[in-house]
Amino acid sequence: MTSVASSERNSLPKIRILAENVVNQIAAGEVVERAASVLKELVENSLDAGATRVQIVLKGSGRSLIQVVDDGCGMSRDDLLLAFERHATSKLARAEDLQTVKTLGFRGEALPSIASVSFIEVRSAATGAASGTLLRLEAGRIAHDEPIASNAGTSMAVHSLFFNTPARARFLKSAATELAHLIRIFKQYALAYPEIAWTLTHDDALEYNLPPADLSTRLNDLFGAGFSDKTASLQFEAGGVVVSGVVGLPELNKKSRGNQYLFLNCRPVQSALLHSAVRSALRELLEEGEWPFYAVFLEIAPSELDVNVHPAKLEVKFADEQRVHGALYRAIRSVLTERFVQDSRLAVLPSDAAERSSENPSVAVPQRSDLFSRQTVASSGDMSPLTSGARAPDALSSEQGLLRPAIFQVHGKHLIAQIQSGIAIVDQHAAHERVLFEKAIRSFDERSFHAQQLLFPMLLELDPEMDALFVEVRDDLAKLGFQIRDFGQRTYSVEAVPAGLRRVSESGMIRAMLEEYREFRRARFEPLEALAAGFACHAAIRAGDLLTADEMTALMNELFATRFPLTCPHGRPTVIHVTLSELDRRFKRTE
Amino acid sequence: MKFQASQSSLFSAFQTLATIIPTKSPMPVLMHFLVQLTGKKLVVTATDLEISMETQLEVSGEEDGKALFPARKYLELLRELPDVPIHVEAADNGRITLTAEGKNYNLASENVQNYPKVPSLEKVEPLRLSQSQLRRMISKCSFAVSRDELRPQLTGVYAKVSAQELRFVTTDGHRLVKIGYQHNGYKGAALESIVPAKAMQNAARLCEREGDIEMFFTDKQIAFRVGPTTMITKLIEGRYPNYEAVIPSDNKNKLTLDLDQFQAAVRRAAIVSNEISRQIRLKISADNVEILVEDIEQGNEGRESVSCSYAGEPMDIGYNAAYVLDVLKQIDTGEVVLDLGTPTSAGIVKPTEQEEKEDLLMLIMPVRLN
Ligand SMILES: Nc1ncnc2c1ncn2[C@@H]1O[C@H](COP(=O)(O)OP(=O)(O)O)[C@@H](O)[C@H]1O
């Protein structure tokens, strides 16, 4: 060890210079893949410098010039010289440690790497300084160094990228492709920083001129007037994850990728995990092979991240992937819904049959006694209450079929409805779970469940584990309408249950709810959400419950009045949406 | 087995048993009629293992035997045939042939050996009752039967027979019906049992004519017999809850209302009530009941007043409108009486006057107002 170290020390000066060039060029290959990577590094530096205006000048798709001009804090001559030394970064020194680094760049290898494969001309003046510095570098070597008069800020111009690495140069794709990459980088940062004024010039033509704005204006400025109207904006926070931004409505779906923008703490990132969260949240809106538009911003405490995975800093890893995935998923589901419903793509249409014949109910509800049709059904007459239990009273049914939507129950578990764009298939249990879940959540504040008093209080004896859960949720159960008396020794008497629950086994309810509650807690639901989910799961109608036409209508209406109708609390879909075009395609009617 | 009978006599006999046949069953034989011929006597049986029903009819028998008839197909075919003599034949290979005036249908069937053993009628002292009375009692109490399969006792009709009275009780824990009838005498043993709701429903179907029905009570089964038809049902095991203990004896607030007016008002309120809770609120004072309804979620509300006569403390009480309508539907008098205790305790609902020999009492539990 010692001998190796000392022999290195002897030959250090010479070796160092050689090694540095090599190292820089190797690093360049990693960091500086193409012109767009250079732009990205330069723009990040400007943003880190606190710029409020960033001007980008490109020539020859970045091959001849990539220039970024900012009005940020600038650099003194000393800083400037240091900036082109490998691993010279002012950012780590400022930050407490790698874990909490919040600025965009921090590895301090970008500028030396870029410099090693290009000619650079920098002009920079630190805020408050009397003069600035002009520096020219050729393949990383300082070729020119002079003081100049300059306003605060920095102009970094990278000429003739890859002039000395023909292999890399050949690797570049067509000019159009390279330009597309450059523009994409530009759009990413323009989206992430709408409060900053941006311009982009290519081959002397001003392509973009974006004044400071909010996100929706920025969207319109970047993608065309009216664009933001076709998006739904996100606003969500759960478990330390803040989600904002927008997702596009289906009309913005494209057959090719490229319109997906994902930012983590304002830095553009790629994450298969997060993309899949978006996709699954949007699943009913995406046809096969379609890509949605989104610009999603996540904010997460830096300690929860590992951004140091790749020098290009694009791939991120999360300490708790599930939570981030869940937050993003829920953020989209919750907001999407409102737009989705407004969109009325799922509005149930009245049945065509109802128009044709009003005396014939259009809904074929299979009856228990349907087997021997005519006679049997007729003779069941007034005895039906024996099987119908606590159903809605007759007064509430609209047998005329006047405004009745076309909804059919099949296999005692799915509802099929005709909607504007095709058909919706609803899982009755999941749908009812969603309805009850949201109602329960509201009930914790508003007590929307009333307590139905019971004639025969039900005894509840719990084992220690269940009892511990029970004690946790007891007060909240009361808000759902349960009235429970403590008899001591883990024995309770249930004296009232939530009013109006049809087809529920009241006696087994609390125990089943507690079990569900435990599961949802394990799945990291907040306590109230877990309780509401447990309640909904157990109180909801089940597969096999035959619904009357009115019940089906009510369920559909209630479902689409929820904030979040597309999934049950477990995250399973409530609705499968089959579009007319999909049907046509499957029936081979597409040309 | 071979016999001949008219379409109408066959159809009406088999039709009686149709409701017992399960629509789906893991045991396909249960979806068949068991048909046995001895001389002129054709005995037809159906069972779902809980309830079994048997009827007899006279046919011109040609060859004794025993076979299974696929219930659905056979019955539907019968129905569509004209009322002419029909020749029925069950071959040894299990195939059933129907022949009538040049029409010939041949049905596949199951092996009769696989049919389960059906319980037979135990000859005990019967209770004799008019069909209309039994039907009436069943129809009055059926609505309150529970569907909670975890409390199987409540899914049945409690039936108690004694030397003087036949009593039915049903409850789902939210409301309760007790209906008693002073019969004309019963010499059998006094018994209490819980009869499955489906059996009671079928018993009511048997009571469609003038004349009496006989009921045979034992501690394992109850049988109903009308003419040639007998239905035997297993009982639900376990103890029925102590319903007498929950019938309040000191409900001092007595409210009397015009049935039609009250019913109409509740029906209107129910339309506006919350679709899940169906909650309405009664504000009762000396001479009128104010019915209030509010559905916060939908933003609907309503109120109306019904005049009443009331002796008691002013009261503010919540109910599930569907439950109120259910009990009101059972009242046959022009006015209805509600004996109320407190806004959280059971209220008694009764007609102003009982039918002769009958005693009808219903309980309804309120919904706690927030
Ligand atoms: N546009 C700029 N304005 C102000 N300072 C800059 C600018 N560009 C680079 N710097 C300084 O040069 C340093 C080195 O930059 P760079 O090599 O890109 O590494 P990193 O950004 O990862 O720190 C930065 O830490 C910063 O202090």
Which H or E run contains A182?
A: helix A175-192
Q: How far apart are CA B22 and CA B16, in angstroms?
A: 14
For B320, how many CA atoms within 13 A lie in the half-sphere containing its CB? 29
pLDDT value at A376 more than 50: no
- The label of the residue with tokens 């008098």 reads B333
φ/ψ of A180, rounded to 5, equals: -60, -40
> pLDDT confidence of A40, banded at 50, 70, 90?
very high
CB contact under 8 A, B147 and A368: no
Mean local confidence (pLDDT), A180-193 = 94
In a domain, B315, yes or no: yes
Q: For ligand 1, is residue A49 a contact (CB within 6 Å)?
A: yes
Show the domains of chain A with their CATH numbers. 2-208 (3.30.565.10), 217-342 (3.30.230.10), 450-498+504-539 (3.30.1370.100)
* pLDDT tens, position by position, B177-222: 999 999 988 998 999 999 999 999 999 999 988 899 999 999 999 9
User: If you average pLDDT over residues A225-237, what whole number do you get?
Assistant: 85
**At A401, is the pLDDT very low, low, confident or very high (cuts 50, 70, 90)?**
very low
Confidence grade of residue A403 (pLDDT, cut at 50, 70, 90): very low
Ligand 1 neighbour A76 (Cβ under 6 A): no
Yes or no, beta carbons of B279 and A499 under 8 Å apart: yes
A3-13 pLDDT, tens per residue? Answer: 433 333 333 33
The verdict on B149 and B219 lying in the same domain is yes
- When CB atoms are compared, the residue of A368, A496, A554 closest to B23 is A368
- pLDDT computed for residue B351 by the predictor: 97
B186 located within any domain: yes
B149 and B137 in a common domain: yes
A173: which DSSP letter?
-
**Lowest model confidence (mean pLDDT) among A83-87, A246-250, A576-580:** A83-87
Residue A315 CA to residue A214 CA, distance in Å, equals 27
And the tokens for B234?
A: 């297993």
Enclosing H/E stretch for B256: strand B253-258
Does residue A106 line the site of ligand 1, with CB under 6 A? Answer: yes
What pLDDT shows up at residue B36? 96
How far apart are the CA of A189 and the centre of ligand 1, in A? Answer: 17
Q: Which ranges in A447-543 belong to alpha helices (H)?
A: 464-479, 506-522, 527-539
Share of chain B above pLDDT 90, in %: 83
Q: Which of A376, A450, A553 would best serve as a mutation to test chain B binding (most B beta carbons within 10 A)? A: A450
Single-letter amino acid, residue B11: F
- The Cα A147–Cα B51 span in angstroms is 105
Please determine, for residue A55, whether its predicted confidence score (pLDDT) is greater than 90.
yes
> What residues in B contact A496, CB-CB < 8 Å?
368
Q: Do B217 and B254 reside in the same domain of the chain?
A: no
Structural domain includes residue B121: no
Residues 6+ apart with CB under 8 A from B157: B138, B141, B142, B145, B168, B169, B170, B194, B195, B197, B200
Mark which of B92, B114, B136 sits at the end of a domain.
Answer: B114
Residues B296, A448: C-beta atoms closer than 8 Å: yes
Same domain, B260 and B239: no
* Average pLDDT along chain B: 93
Distinct helix (H) and strand (E) counts, chain A: 20, 22
pLDDT in tens, A440-498: 888 787 776 788 999 998 888 999 988 999 998 888 888 888 999 998 889 999 999 98
Q: Poorest-confidence range of A3-7, A202-206, B294-298?
A: A3-7
Q: Could you write out the DSSP letters of every residue in B150-215?
A: TSGGGGEEEEEE-SSEEEEEEE-SSEEEEEEEE-S---S--EEEEEEHHHHHHHHHH--SSSEEEE
Decide if B120 is inside a domain: no
Distance CA A404, CA A350 (A): 6
Predicted confidence band of residue A357 (pLDDT cuts 50, 70, 90):
very low
Strand partners of residue B161: B166, B191
Exposed, middle or buried by CB within 10 Å (0-12, 13-18, 19+), for A374? Answer: exposed
Collect all residues of chain B within an 8 Å Cβ-Cβ radius of residue A499: 276-279, 320, 367
CA distance, residue B13 to nearest chain A CA (Å): 13
Tally Cβ neighbours within 10 Å of residue A401. Answer: 21
Q: Specify whether B24 is located in the same domain as B35.
A: yes
Q: How far is the CA of A89 from the centre of ligand 1 (A)?
A: 7
The reply to whether residue A389 touches residue B176, judged by beta carbons under 8 angstroms, is no
| Domain termination site, one of B87, B114, B141 | B114
Instruction: Say which residue the tokens 């292999």 belong to.
Output: A167
> Given pLDDT bands bounded at 50, 70 and 90, which one contains residue B322?
very high
CATH, residue B163: 3.10.150.10
Q: Is the pLDDT of residue A217 over 50?
A: yes
For residues B197 and B110, membership in a common domain is answered with no
HSE-CB of B155 using CA atoms within 13 angstroms: 20
Q: For residue B362, what pLDDT band results from cuts at 50, 70 and 90? A: very high
Q: Residue A342's pLDDT band (boundaries 50, 70, 90)?
A: very low
Cβ of A105 below 6 Å from ligand 1: yes
User: Quick check: A571 pLDDT over 50?
Assistant: yes
Q: Is there a domain that residue B77 lies in?
A: yes
Nearest CA in chain A to B14: A372
- Same-domain status, B262 and B328: yes
Q: Quick one: closest CA in B to A398, which residue?
A: B271
Is the separation of the CB atoms in B157 and B121 below 8 Å?
Answer: no
| B210 lies in the same domain as B302 | no
A393·B267 Cβ contact <8 A: yes
Whether A185 contacts A175, CB under 8 Å = no
Q: How far is the CA of A158 from the centre of ligand 1 (A)?
A: 14
Interface contact flag, B365 A453, Cβ < 8 Å: yes
Residue A354 has pLDDT above 70, yes or no: no
Which stretch, A159-173, A522-536, B298-312, has highest mean pLDDT? Answer: B298-312
Q: How many domains, chain B?
A: 3
What number of residues does chain A have?
A: 591
Say yes or no: CB of residue A83 within 6 Å of ligand 1.
yes
- Place B248 in a pLDDT band, splitting at 50, 70 and 90: very high
Tell me, yes or no, whether B52 lies in a domain. yes
- Is A499 in Cβ contact with B267 (below 8 Å)? no
Residues A100-151: tens digit of each pLDDT:
444 444 456 788 889 988 999 999 999 988 899 999 999 888 999 999 988 8
CA nearest neighbour of A411 among A560, A542, A574, A573: A542
Give SS3 for B23: coil
For the cut 90, the answer to whether the pLDDT of residue A90 exceeds it is no
| Summary mean pLDDT of chain A | 76
Q: What percent of chain A has pLDDT over 90?
A: 27
Between chain A and chain B, the number of residue pairs with CB atoms below 8 A apart is 145
Q: How far is the CA of A45 from the centre of ligand 1 (A)?
A: 5
State yes or no: pLDDT of A157 exceeds 90.
yes
Helices B259-272 and B321-328, interaxial angle, to 10°?
150
Percent of chain B with pLDDT over 70: 100
Contact (CB<8Å) A456/B241: yes
Average pLDDT for residues A524-553, to the nearest whole number?
A: 83
Q: Are residues B337 and B263 in the same domain?
A: yes
Q: Closest-CA residue in chain B for A366?
A: B23
CB of A443 shorter than 6 A to ligand 1: no
Give me ligand 1 centre to Cα A268, in Å.
18
- Nearest Cα residue to A331 out of A262, A413, A267: A262
Beta-bridge mates of residue A313 = none
Are B41 and B72 part of one and the same domain? yes
Indicate if ligand 1 lies below 6 Å from the C-beta of A43. Answer: no
Atom of ligand 1 nearest to the CA of A70: 1
- Residue B187 distance to chain A (closest CA, Å): 30
- What is the Å distance from ligand 1's center to A95 Cα? 14
Q: How far apart are CA B153 and CA B240, in angstroms?
A: 6
pLDDT in tens, B52-96: 999 999 999 999 999 999 999 999 999 999 999 999 999 988 899
Does residue B268 lie in a domain region?
A: yes
Among residues B245, B263, B281, the one where a domain terminates is B245
Distance from CA of B206 to the nearest CA of A (A): 11
B241 and B131 in a common domain: yes
How many angstroms separate the Cα of A565 from the Cα of each of A34, A481, A551, A562, B339? 45, 24, 17, 5, 44
Burial class for B245, CB neighbours closer than 10 Å (0-12, 13-18, 19+): exposed
- One-letter amino acid identity for A139? A
- My answer on whether B240 and B286 are in the same domain is no
- Rounded to two decimals, the pTM is 0.60
**CB within 8 Å: A385 and B366:** no
**Backbone phi, psi, residue A15, to 5°:** -55, -40
Q: Which residue would you say has higher pLDDT here, B345 or A318?
A: B345
- The answer to whether residue B369 is domain-embedded is no
User: Which pairs with CB-CB distance under 8 Å and at least 24 residues apart come from B96-99?
Assistant: B96/B67, B96/B69, B96/B70, B98/B74
Q: What average pLDDT score do residues A217-227 get?
A: 91
Where in the sequence is the domain holding B187, given as residue range(s)?
127-245
